[in-house]
């Protein structure tokens, strides 16, 4: 489980310069950008905030995301 203080400061690296880049914490396995829809996996309680990883899941519906997030 991620620390609430960390969740408060994390932003989507692709959106943060032009938009808010706010992230939704989803089922303790994903961070979903509310602006662009990129989905960043959380592996071993560590958010993987790489744009390439977020792009891989951008077109996957939130409900279809694997829980837990798959290994790299």
Mean confidence (pLDDT) of the chain: 93
- The count of other CB atoms within 10 Å of the CB of residue 71 is 7
* pLDDT greater at residue 26 or residue 7: 26
Q: Where are the domains of the chain?
A: 4-64
> pLDDT, tens digit, for every residue of 10-37?
999 999 889 999 999 999 999 999 999 9
Among candidate residues 10, 56, 47, 54, the one with its CA nearest the CA of residue 28: 47
Residue range 4-64 in CATH 1.10.3470: no
pLDDT at res. 15: 94
Residues 6 or more apart whose CB falls under 8 angstroms from that of 41 comprise: 29, 30, 47, 48, 53, 57, 69, 70
* Residue 70 clears pLDDT 80, i.e. is over it: yes
Q: Report whether 12 contacts 38 (CB < 8 A).
A: yes
Q: How confident is the model at residue 4 (pLDDT cuts 50, 70, 90)?
A: confident
Strand pairing partners for 39?
A: 32
């Amino acid at each position: 489980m991620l620390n609430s203080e960390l969740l408060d400061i994390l932003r989507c690296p692709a959106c943060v310069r032009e938009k808010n880049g706010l992230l939704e914490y989803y089922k303790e396995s994903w961070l979903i950008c509310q602006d662009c829809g990129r989905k960043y996996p959380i592996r071993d309680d560590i958010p993987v905030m790489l744009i390439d990883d977020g792009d891989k899941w951008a077109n996957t519906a939130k409900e279809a995301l694997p829980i837990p997030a798959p290994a790299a």
